Amino acid sequence: MDVVIIIFTGLIGFYMAWTIGANDVANSMASAVGSQSLSIKKAIILAGICEFSGAVLVGSSVTETIRKGIVDPNMLAALPALREGEAAALLIIGMTAALLCAAFWLHFATWVGMPVSTTHAIVGAVAGFGVVAAGWNSVNWHKMGQIVASWFISPLVGGILAFSLFKFISTFILGREKPAEAAKTYAPPIVFFVVFVNTLATIYKGLNHIISGLTWLTGTTSIIISVVLGLICSVIAKIWISRHLRGKETLSIAKQLEEVEKIFVPLVIVSSCSVAFAHGANDVANAIGPFAAIVDIIKHGTVQMKVGVPLPILFMGGAGIVFGLATFGYKVMATVGTKITEITPSRGVAADIAASVTVLICSRLSLPVSTTHTLVGAIMGIGLARGHGGINKSVAKKIFASWLITVPAAAFLAIIFFVIGRYLFLDSIIDIVLAARR
Amino acid sequence: MAIITNLFKKSPFGPIVEHAKKVHECLEMIKPLMEALIYENYELIHELQNKVSKLEYEADLIKHQIREDLPRRFFLPVDREELDGFLECQEKMADYAQDFAIILRIRQTKLHPHVQDKFFDLVDQMFQVSGSLLTAAVEIKNLAEASFGGAEARQVLSLIKGLGEEEWKADKLARSLSIDIYKLEGKIGTIDIIFYEKMLLKIGAIANEAENAGDFLRAMIVK
């Protein structure tokens, strides 16, 4: 019976990961595909690799937050008049309900064309379960407030970062008398920044759960490694750019701008990959966090304070995302590639860097944010810096509306699923929990 | 569906360049029209007038497409009102070129040798203005690429700077041509004089609108 539950919830987690891969991943590669820097086929392959490695390498820290941060399991265990093992059983049912509800809500929202976030859905669902199972106070509203605030802040920070980055690019490269000359000086620092941030996010506290015993690879050491790697890459970039732009300084400004955009092509591919990487790191937790909790409870029969996410589960989440990308996401990617032809590589780089930095930092702070919404904020920021031909303002309104709707809707759905689940399965799950204790 | 696809809208700057080029094609018909007038080849005038009307219609289509692709909810790198004003001026230029062709078409007017040279001078001067404007306008796509700043913007702004002076020269020429036309009073028919004046006003108006379009372009860049 316990195997049945693990398979059942595992399938729901996989379904959730599939939804993420099918709908969300294409957004993260939008800059590279839209600027025609990458063919759709290559974009899918690269996105798959980056999402998967992001999920496995950086994924774990957010996973714990969703389970532990929002609802306090101790409050559940401390409820009066509980049977033996009931608290653990309730948690299993609740997490299953949350997963199921988030996946359904996402599917529904995608169907009606609402830009909802996986992250927001799962947070709302877990909170809804907490309120019904253990009362209003079991939800850590302080943490919840932080998370909700981060949804407002992350697009804003993404926007401000993108605005500044693009201003930097347009002032120091595109706006110069000789853009081709300026690119030789000012493009390598951008390369450094991209490499530095991504390396740091990967190894700072990161690789430990993959390869144990890498204690030296933390803190200051990881910063030094990132700086060195960034420097090496920027030197290589400098050599490559100088070679590519040699003799182009005498062309007309318009022609030079064209050539400089070509310099940004490899960079936009790398930066789009880093968005996909950050997306994998941030969003995989939505699918596998609750599942990891369930597996842990069934294994031990008790609700532990802290649950590490086993590597196989991270692999499963990553695989689900890749599977969603391969089965359905390629269609979305193709639409992105044909519909967004107005983005240029220089804009793409600025938006991507801003979005991935913001998301990676938030992931590290254990704040689950929406990658896509952050990217939208970044693109808007570039629009404010007069970088885009035309931006549809109504998308921002839609996103805002989705913030207001998703949490209550997901919470409500989770409550329904939870109540039904508790009515039907509570007794048999308590048996499983007790069996596990023996 | 990926939200990002709804976020991006077609940039209007490519079509704006196209529109400016089309408008200038209308203007380019003015010289052949004048030449046909001197040779009193009214059949050719008829033909050319049809051609201008067709070009003007095509310019209109491009303009409508631009407007259609830009609902108010779009967030543009330039001021919306100034963009509209710029298009409006361009449209008027094409309209006036068409009016000019119609003026020649509706009556078999003969151009008196005393005013011929100055008429051609005025047309040339008008082309000075509209030509500089075109050179500036076709840069608008590159301007967007450079986010309306830096060296590219300075280059375009300096082009526009010259427009005012060129237009002033056109005004001066028009005034002196006007005087010459009224000197012909009594020597030619009154209706002829009325038609000369009509032609002159249209050409002057084109130069004037070209300058206005330049002003809007400047405002778009400076924002």
**B171 CA: distance to closest CA in chain A (Å):** 34
What are the DSSP calls for A234-286, one per residue?
A: HHHHHHHHHHHHTTGGGS-HHHHHHHHHHHHHHHHHHHHHHHHHHHHHHHHHH
Nearest-angstrom CA–CA distance, A339 and B202: 43
Q: Is A171 an interface residue toward B (CB < 8 Å)?
A: yes
Nearest-angstrom CA–CA distance, A36 and A30: 10
**What is the domain count for chain B?**
1
**What is the domain count for chain A?**
1
* pLDDT, tens digit, 9 for 90 and up, residues A373-393: 898 899 999 999 988 888 888
Examine residue B98 and state whether it is found in any structural domain, yes or no. Answer: yes
Range of the domain at B54: 12-68+78-222
Q: In the numeric block, which tokens belong to residue A196?
A: 């530095």
- Cβ contact, residue pair B142, A115, below 8 Å: no
> Phi and psi of A388, rounded to 5°?
-115, 145
Closest CA to A330 of A52, A121, A103, A46: A46
Does the pLDDT at position B146 exceed 90? no
Examine residue B108 and state whether it is found in any structural domain, yes or no. Answer: yes
Nearest-angstrom CA–CA distance, A392 and B144: 17
**B1 CA: distance to closest CA in chain A (Å):** 6
Range of the domain at A316: 2-437
Nearest CA in chain B to A31: B4
Cβ–Cβ contacts within 10 Å for residue B27, how many?
A: 24
Nearest-angstrom CA–CA distance, A437 and A74: 18
Nearest-angstrom CA–CA distance, A272 and A357: 12
| The residue type at B68 | E
* Mean of pLDDT values over A408-425: 92
Nearest CA in chain A to B4: A27
Contact residues, chain A, for B148 at CB < 8 Å: 386
Cβ atoms of B89 and B210 within 8 Å: the answer is: yes
CATH of the domain at B59: 1.20.58.220
Q: Is B66 an interface residue toward A (CB < 8 Å)?
A: no
Examine residue B121 and state whether it is found in any structural domain, yes or no. Answer: yes
Q: Is A391 an interface residue toward B (CB < 8 Å)?
A: yes
ipTM score of complex: 0.83
Q: Is A123 an interface residue toward B (CB < 8 Å)?
A: no
Binned at pLDDT 50, 70 and 90, residue A210 comes out as low
Q: Beta partners for A208?
A: none
Q: Which residues 217-256 of A have a C-beta within 8 angstroms of B?
A: 253-254
- Any residues with CB less than 8 A from the CB of A139 and at least 6 apart, and which? A70, A71, A72, A127, A130, A131
Examine residue B124 and state whether it is found in any structural domain, yes or no. Answer: yes
- Cβ contact, residue pair B73, A388, below 8 Å: no
The two most distant CA atoms of chain A are separated, in Å, by 83
The two beta strands, B74-75 and A391-392, are antiparallel
The torsion region of residue B141 among left (phi > 0), alpha (psi -120 to 50) and beta comes to alpha
Examine residue B5 and state whether it is found in any structural domain, yes or no. Answer: no
Helix and strand numbers (H, E) in chain A are 17, 1
Instruction: Please count the residues of chain B.
Output: 223
Determine the pLDDT at residue A61. 53
* pLDDT, tens digit, 9 for 90 and up, residues A58-91: 766 555 545 557 787 777 777 777 777 888 888 8
Examine residue B171 and state whether it is found in any structural domain, yes or no. Answer: yes
* pLDDT, tens digit, 9 for 90 and up, residues A263-308: 899 989 988 998 898 888 888 888 888 888 888 888 877 777 667 7
Nearest-by-Cβ selection for B149 from A175, A335, A336: A175
* pLDDT, tens digit, 9 for 90 and up, residues B53-76: 999 999 999 999 998 888 777 888
Examine residue B3 and state whether it is found in any structural domain, yes or no. Answer: no
Closest CA to B206 of B120, B128, B117, B108: B128
Binned at pLDDT 50, 70 and 90, residue B217 comes out as very high
Examine residue B7 and state whether it is found in any structural domain, yes or no. Answer: no
